[in-house]
Amino acid sequence: MAAGNVQHVDKADDQLTVLNPTPVSQCHTVVSGDNLLKIADKYYGNDAQNDVIFEANKPMLKSPDKIYPGQVLRIPAVA
């Protein structure tokens, strides 16, 4: 329930149905030896998808060749 004008409200109609749910992203913490090709292969089974990860993490990443241990990257779901 939202904060605010809820006086005299017993319940809310929560029968919402999502027709086209958005695919869920994952997170990956970079470790020593990682590169975007390896990460793409791990999550997508295809290292050619590395550009998807790079684009999803701009402006934190300035170059696909410069990732560092400890960075947490968003790994978008591929629909």
Contact 28, 39 (CB under 8 A): yes
CA-CA-CA-CA dihedral for 38, 42, 48, 54, to nearest 10: -70
Q: Pick from 73, 76, 62, 74: which is nearest to 30 by CA?
A: 73
pTM of the model: 0.71
pLDDT at 75 over 80: yes
pLDDT per residue as tens digits for the range 33-61: 999 999 999 999 999 999 999 999 999 99
Q: Residue 49: count other Cβ atoms within 10 Å of its Cβ.
A: 19
Q: Predicted confidence band at 1 (pLDDT cuts at 50, 70, 90)?
A: very low
